[in-house]
Chains A and B, each alone.
Chain A
């Protein structure tokens, strides 16, 4: 029995929800608008910006010249993808064995892994900094790939574990009865069922790594800095810079915004460690 909603009520809900949604989205919308204006126009009152000022793409070119967007973008891609893929390589076997061959200690291990995620980064900042200097990892992409892999590893293991646990064990027994060996079991039965979970985990963790802004700010300089650091270089203003800042911001968030919209569900599961689904 679906509840009947009057058209009036629905129209009211729609208007209210759109208004609220647009208010929340406004800062993002506004930087996209400003990024297509000249510096002089970008600081005019909002209505003039919208209706009076010409549209241009010149800021995008300036940003690339001034702070080499392409280099920082590729750093972000390498660091986010590298750390996530590396994390998956380590986590898939672990989550797999915990989901399919659970022992008495599985739960304790999972909880302990979660607890490492709670360690405040600032508490271990100097040791990591020191280790990085000693190993020559400061301001290298390799160093960041390793650190981001480690900080996201608990989330990766947990997400995979909750996905793998949903694969029914009976299906394995059925495969065994049909004469499948361990190799066939993994290759033809489990892998196809696990791929969606692995893909979701990949997606969410790429987003988390892309936006990570403690280690990326503190462990990089000019060389390996991803987009988080590229943007921070705009924190000391130099004359008019709204259009440039907007263009740089738009370019930094656009790729991940698009990925993010595909990952709403995974976000809930991944960040609540399966506690809310």
Chain B
């Protein structure tokens, strides 16, 4: 499987919100009042993608930009690494998918995600974690994610990840963009890439995300576990045996002295 990805060209988005509707239709999401576009657009348990209207400074004037938000599908997802029951996995195709059957509902994934993507069905008795699945089923069949398929403005491009990165660089080289492919390095890289003509910081993107894959942080510690456990156990056993032996000797000597 060649990893797939999506390139979001912010300069081409008109803010029609087709992608948000397609997402709801394809994933059977409800309308729960969370605005899917406009100023207050937000992700939610029933809103896996949202197009936020942002006013950003550019060349001394304020320009309107529309920012499609959804899971970035990191190459090394913090959420999947945080999941202790393997309910979240990165597939070979690229999507980071969630399996509710395995989910315990601890919400560590929500805490781990550097982009605050996963949402929770707080109102349900047995809530699920909810986030964009990148239409993994459609991708497996060779189709585009639903949102990409309906974009009338050509703001979304679906394709093989490596080619997309090249396409992004190509567009940047042609001019009219800032020299930053968001998602290329952030959190160690993601299947969704963004290019823009205004700095991502002004669009509400988190630009202080580490470029090191987040799982590496905890895994660098976790890998010490067996060594620490066994080593510490050995040390303790050693001390314990030593102390017991010493006590025995002391007792024997005491008995000897008594005699």
Q: Do they bind each other? A: no
